């Protein structure tokens, strides 16, 4: 399974988005994901769903098995931690038709969004 991850910066500067995207990619690669690719030319690689900007876009390959919930939880934990380490960071994660948007919202609110996202993706994958 592939997740499209889009990085946004408060100031919208392209160089800053590129820098932030590299930082997040490095953190994801150090975690337990199968692969992380940069999106190119506004298109996600084959097999990924969702549109993506070429600047700030990543495609994350995750295990597509019984450990789906664990893989999604891990991805969202990494992204949430990364967001807290900088001002004005926002990230959207798209899997199939499901989109999770994370920013510097309250942790309890973020957790509710994450839980609903993981449940929806898991239910679609089981059908």
pTM higher than 0.85 for the full model? Answer: no
pLDDT on residue 37: 92
pLDDT on residue 62: 84
Specify which residues 61 forms β-bridges with. 2, 35
Distance in angstroms (rounded) separating the CA atoms of residues 66 and 46 = 23
pLDDT on residue 41: 56
Q: Nearest CA to 72 among 86, 84, 60, 82?
A: 60
Which two tokens mark 83?
A: 């967001």
pLDDT on residue 51: 44
Which residues of the chain carry a pLDDT beneath 70?
A: 12, 41-54, 64-66
């Amino acid at each position: 399974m592939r997740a499209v991850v889009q990085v946004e910066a408060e100031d919208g500067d392209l160089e800053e988005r590129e820098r932030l995207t590299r930082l997040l990619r490095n953190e994801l690669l150090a975690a337990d994901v199968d692969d992380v690719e940069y999106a190119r030319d506004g298109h996600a690689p084959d097999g990924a769903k969702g549109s993506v900007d070429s600047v700030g876009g990543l495609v994350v390959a995750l295990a597509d098995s019984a450990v789906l919930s664990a893989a999604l939880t891990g991805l969202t934990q990494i992204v949430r931690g990364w967001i807290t380490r900088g001002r004005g960071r926002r990230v959207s994660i798209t899997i199939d038709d499901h989109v999770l948007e994370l920013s510097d919202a309250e942790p309890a609110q973020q957790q509710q969004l994450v839980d609903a996202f993981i449940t929806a993706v898991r239910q679609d994958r089981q059908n």
